[in-house]
Amino acid sequence: MTTIKPLIKYVKKAAEQATREQFKVKRNFKNDGSVITHIDKELNEYLSKAISSLYPEANLITEESPKIFDNSRDYCFVVDPIDGTDSYSQGMPGWCIAVGLLEKGEPIAGIIYAPLWGGKNGTFIYSDINGPIYINGEKMVIDEIADASLPDKEIQIAIASKTHQIFNFSSFKGKVRVIGSTIIKIVAPLIHNAIGGSIIPKCCIWDIAAAHAIAKKAGLKFLYFNGANVNYSKLYDRSIIEDVIICGHEKVCEIIKNNFIKIDPN
């Protein structure tokens, strides 16, 4: 496999449909309490068919349709038809469509499209196998991402809506931002010049694979709060991540570890 570029047109078409339908959808709930809409299911099927047709040699993991995983295959596509469904279903802009590619468990490429986030035409981020990162068609210059040299009080961190239930972060001097989509949180330092990192609690492989590939190429740290690397082989069975993930500049990751104190559930 040499490129995922043929998938771009499918992701963009999926985003067009999702945008058209956003204000018509009805919220439903899965057994785990998370929100789902008919668009999640339709785009899941659409993108799955496209990937299976173009790359029959690869495994495919999607949020909405469990499949048998073949360990003998080197490549695995990971699809989130709509990341941030709760935000999407309420008419908010913090959602995106994402396709990531793993090679032997390592994230190597990704396509992320948040059509209503960041500007008139949204934010489209793409990095091919062995290729640079492009944001809205422009090649990203690595040293232009969010400035980690900012004073602590000016650094912003993207967090999830329930982060306050996991951490006490009253000592953190900067600001926090709740975005909606886990994937947008991870790549936020590439989009917004004051956001230096993110905290990612409870999620699954489709919530992180595409964004991890992009973050890694941008030189951002991406690891569990305990310092361990994310082992994707443990997530192929659709398990929830084993610990909170932190992502960002090295300095920001240290700030997070020093200022976000886990709350004892007992």
- In DSSP notation, 28-42 reads EE-TTS-EE-HHHHH
DSSP states along 201-251: -S--GGGTHHHHHHHHHTT-EEEETTSPPP-GGGTTT-PPPSS-EEEE-HH
Sequence letter at residue 18: A
Q: What is the distance of C-alpha 154 from the center of its chain?
A: 24
CA distance 64 to 46: 12
**φ and ψ of 24, to 5 deg:** -110, -15
Asked if 30 and 36 touch (Cβ cutoff 8 Å), the reply is yes
> Is residue 56 classed exposed, middle or buried when 0-12, 13-18 and 19+ CB atoms within 10 A define those classes?
exposed
Tens of pLDDT along the chain (266 residues) come to: 899 999 999 999 999 999 998 988 887 777 776 777 888 899 999 999 999 999 999 999 998 777 778 888 999 999 999 999 899 988 999 999 999 999 999 999 999 999 999 878 899 999 999 999 999 999 988 765 555 566 677 889 999 999 999 999 999 999 999 998 999 999 999 999 889 999 999 899 999 999 999 999 999 999 999 999 999 999 999 999 999 999 998 889 999 999 999 987 66
pTM (2 d.p.): 0.92
Please report the pLDDT score of residue 71 as a whole number.
Answer: 86
> Coil, strand, or helix at residue 266?
coil
Please report the pLDDT score of residue 143 as a whole number.
Answer: 65
Ranges assigned E (strand) in 30-155 = 35-36, 59-62, 75-83, 96-103, 106-114, 123-127, 133-135, 138-139
| Count of residues in the chain | 266
